[in-house]
Amino acid sequence: MDQQLDNFTFVLFGAESDLSSRKLLPSLYQLARWKQLPEKYRVIGVARSAIDHKGFRAYARQSVQAHAPDSLANTETLDLFCNNLFYVRADLTETEGYILLRHEIDKVVMSDSSCSNLLFYLATPPSLAPHIIDNLEKADLGGKSEACRGWRKIVVEKPYGFDLTSARELNTIVGRVFHEEQVYRIDHYLGKEPVQNILVFRFSNGMFEPLWNRQYIENVSITIAEDFGIRTRGAYYEKSGLLRDIIQNHGLQLLAAIAMEPPVDLSADAVRDEKEKVFRSLRPLTKDNVRDHVMLGQYDGYRNEQNVASDSTVETFAAVRWYVDNWRWKDVPFIMKAGKNLAKQVTEIVITFKCPPQNFFGPPQSCSYTANQIIIQIQPEETIAIRFGSKRPGKELVTDPVFMKFDYKTSFEHEQMTPYQHLLLDAMAGDQMNFIRQDAVESSWRVIDGIRDSFKHVEPDPYPVHSWGPYTEW
């Protein structure tokens, strides 16, 4: 990546959070090591601990060494990175800390006016976002401040609210202090190479795009499976559930990438316009039809987990059969399944094509055995496989399924960026294409709220640990 970035100051709220320690500080270090950051940059950590600049640099050094092992052999680069770190102690709910932050920013800007551009990152619990944004405005640090001498951007972590009402409230708060073009709602899935490649795979290859429609595709399957339970996240999961935790963001973003129309260009708004059209085209799931298209489950033993109610009806599995009611996809099912404690860890998209009108090489039902498929695996592997039928060796004309596979790890020599490294660079450069726009947040919550309202006080179906969830015919 060779784009020229503006010099800037990175303000990290929640500087001692797990996200900062495991992802953000190591990612910033790696970008510095690869010389992807501008010539002059500053990182100001903001948290409650009673430490100073030196203490924060020691903390950051430990985080980087733990999660970026190559740093152990690059001590000079790590030293230079840590020299650019500063710290402000603040209670994020009180205005006083933001005044101190403003003074620290002014000190840095006075010593180097090229760092007057500010990128705020909210690595904090969602409940703190309104407090942070409100206090940024009070400290005259907001994106609409007339005192701004450079650009202002803010990165907000998911979840963006817990339903449509709270999402709208958060969007209103954010919109009062920042313009939409300054807001970067992050979903790390959109930084994964295989997800970013969907756009290229679809629209740069003439052999696929003509077939990418209801005439040739039988169904699309999206699976987001984890082979572990909620671990220590019981308190969070009791308020969230699988629909809010996975389907509303990761799941629907993958669906939009597969189903969207070609954008008029590769500008951020053109791409996001087409994704928003997909959300608006989703067939409504109402109380009359939702039970035919949605199944919720809960793994055995969930109610014994820490911080989980003994009579909890929170879902840890969801299967949703979506329909995109537009010209391209009318009546093609998009079957989405996601869950905890399933048989294995895998995230993949499978596009299954319709069978030929006649099957000369076996009984009619054998077509499902050799049906053409495109299998996009996002994790743990990063691959694209094409399944097709081939003649089995021997005298008989019998077909077997075979695969052609592309693998990111073996096909490219250069070191891959992690999702957070990708998205941090995009935010620094002002590229919003892989971030979620306000209207998409609200559209996705609208469909999830419809499902949740229809399943209020309904017991989810139990399923055994390390199975594929409750049985469903589709």
Does residue 2 carry a pLDDT above 70? no
pLDDT digits (tens, 9 = 90+) for 158-210: 889 999 999 999 999 999 999 999 999 999 999 999 999 999 999 999 999 99
Q: Which residues are catalytic?
A: 250
Ranges of each domain in the chain: 8-157, 190-463
In this prediction the pTM is: 0.93
Question: Does 459 belong to an annotated binding site?
Answer: no
Which residue(s) pair with 334 in the sheet?
220, 322
- Please state, in angstroms and rounded to a whole number, the distance separating the CA atoms of residues 205 and 159: 34
Question: Does 331 belong to an annotated binding site?
Answer: no
Helix (H) or strand (E) holding 91: none
Does residue 155 carry a pLDDT above 60? yes
**Number of helical (H) and strand (E) elements in the chain, helices listed first:** 17, 15
Question: Does 144 belong to an annotated binding site?
Answer: no
Residue type for position 128? L
Token pair listed for 79 = 């030293």
pLDDT digits (tens, 9 = 90+) for 43-74: 999 999 999 999 999 999 999 999 987 877 68
* Domain 190-463 CATH superfamily: Dihydrodipicolinate Reductase; domain 2 (3.30.360.10)
Do the first three CATH levels of 8-157 and 190-463 match, i.e. the same topology?
no
Please provide the DSSP assignment of 223-243 as one string: EEE-SS--TT-HHHHHHH-HI
Q: What is the CATH number of domain 8-157?
A: 3.40.50.720
Question: Does 396 belong to an annotated binding site?
Answer: no
Token pair listed for 286 = 């109402």
Question: Does 293 belong to an annotated binding site?
Answer: no
pLDDT digits (tens, 9 = 90+) for 91-100: 999 999 999 9
The C-alpha R_g of the chain, in whole angstroms, comes to 24
